[in-house]
């Protein structure tokens, strides 16, 4: 329960920051997608199920406030969380390399999906333009931001896990 509430607060705060503060530090008009990084980080730390849940909720928030269709970003977020969760096994948590590489690749796939579904069908075929002006800068930006976001979430997650462990010991579960 505490885990749900914490993640809820993290996602709400992220949306508020991403749509206000981060707009001011946009490079080449590109804003880092911290929501995606949070989804990836949680998936790496906790596995597919929780990754999918975080992705679903983060996407839904963006959908209801900014999106044209409800469920679009939710679907994208959920699938990215689920797939990223596959790397949860056999991954050394203190290592920052994995979140960075994953952010790099996932951003490419995520934004390419947006292009394929939303932009291509509105009649714009100029993929090379978007690749160089939007997707590549965002990949770089997200990779840099993933260090910071992962570091924060790592601490948040450790704090929650510590608490859960204490509770389990208290009630003698496992």
Q: How far apart are the first and last CA of the chain?
A: 19
Q: Taking the complex as a whole, how short is the minimal distance between the CB of residue 51 and another protein, in angstroms?
A: 11
Buried b (16+ CB within 10 A) or exposed e, 34-55: bbbbbbbbbbbbbbbebbbbbb
The smaller minimum CB distance to another protein, of residues 141 and 150, is found at 141
Query: Helix axis angle, 34-46 relative to 2-18, nearest 10°?
Result: 160
- Of 88, 100, 113, give the one whose Cα is nearest residue 139: 100
The smaller minimum CB distance to another protein, of residues 29 and 90, is found at 29
Q: Are 103 and 36 in contact (CB under 8 A)?
A: yes
The smaller minimum CB distance to another protein, of residues 26 and 101, is found at 26
Site residues (vs another protein, CB under 8 A)? 12-13, 15-24, 28-31, 33, 35, 48-49, 52, 56, 60-62, 64-66, 68-72, 74-75, 78-79, 82, 111, 114-115, 118-119, 122, 124, 126, 129-130, 133-134, 138
Q: Taking the complex as a whole, how short is the minimal distance between the CB of residue 160 and another protein, in angstroms?
A: 18
The smaller minimum CB distance to another protein, of residues 64 and 158, is found at 64
Q: Taking the complex as a whole, how short is the minimal distance between the CB of residue 35 and another protein, in angstroms?
A: 6
C-alpha to C-alpha distance for 77 and 59, rounded to whole angstroms: 5
């Amino acid at each position: 329960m505490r885990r749900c509430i914490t993640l809820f607060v993290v996602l709400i705060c992220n949306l508020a920051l991403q749509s206000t503060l981060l707009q001011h530090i946009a490079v080449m008009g590109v804003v880092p997608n911290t929501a995606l990084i949070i989804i990836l980080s949680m998936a790496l730390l906790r596995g597919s199920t929780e990754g999918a849940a975080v992705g679903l909720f983060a996407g839904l928030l963006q959908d209801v406030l900014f999106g044209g269709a409800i469920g679009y970003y939710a679907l994208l977020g959920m699938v990215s969380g689920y797939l990223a969760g596959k790397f949860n096994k056999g991954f050394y948590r203190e290592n920052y390399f994995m979140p960075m590489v994953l952010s790099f690749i996932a951003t490419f796939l995520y934004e390419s999906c947006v292009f394929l579904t939303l932009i291509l069908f509105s009649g714009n075929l100029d993929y090379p333009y978007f690749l160089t002006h939007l997707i590549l800068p965002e990949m770089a930006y997200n990779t840099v931001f993933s260090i910071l976001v992962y570091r924060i979430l790592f601490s948040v997650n450790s704090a929650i896990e510590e608490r859960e462990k204490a509770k389990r010991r208290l009630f003698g579960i496992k």
